[in-house]
């Protein structure tokens, strides 16, 4: 089975050659044959939270003028956590 990365690379290559999506899909099918592989995303469970939600809430309530970057540094988490 081809990975999503491989399929995306082929799609990008064909896009740059001005090949439409239908023609690209047809060429992939002709080249790699018919497949029963599901290309959809697999359902996954949400990862466990590494930080209790009350901790950042209390930090914000204690000092609402602090930046997200400062909160992340103080709580030792990524700023994308917020």
- pLDDT above 90: residue 17: yes
Q: Name which residue leads in pLDDT, 42 or 61.
A: 61
Q: What are 18-44's pLDDT values in tens digits?
A: 999 889 888 888 887 766 666 667 777
Q: Which residues of 26-60 are buried (b: 16+ CB within 10 A; e: fewer)?
A: eebeeeeeeeeeeeeeeeeeeeeeeeeeeebeeee
Would you list the domain boundaries of the chain? 1-34, 50-82
Label residue 76 by pLDDT band (50, 70, 90). Answer: confident
């Amino acid at each position: 089975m081809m990975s999503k990365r491989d399929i995306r690379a082929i799609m990008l290559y064909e896009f740059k050659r001005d090949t439409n999506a239908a023609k690209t899909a047809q060429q992939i099918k002709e080249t790699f044959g018919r497949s029963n592989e599901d290309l959809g995303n697999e359902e996954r469970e949400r990862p466990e939270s590494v930080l209790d939600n009350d901790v950042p809430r209390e930090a914000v309530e204690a000092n609402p003028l602090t930046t997200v970057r400062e909160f992340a540094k103080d709580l030792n988490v990524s700023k994308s956590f917020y």
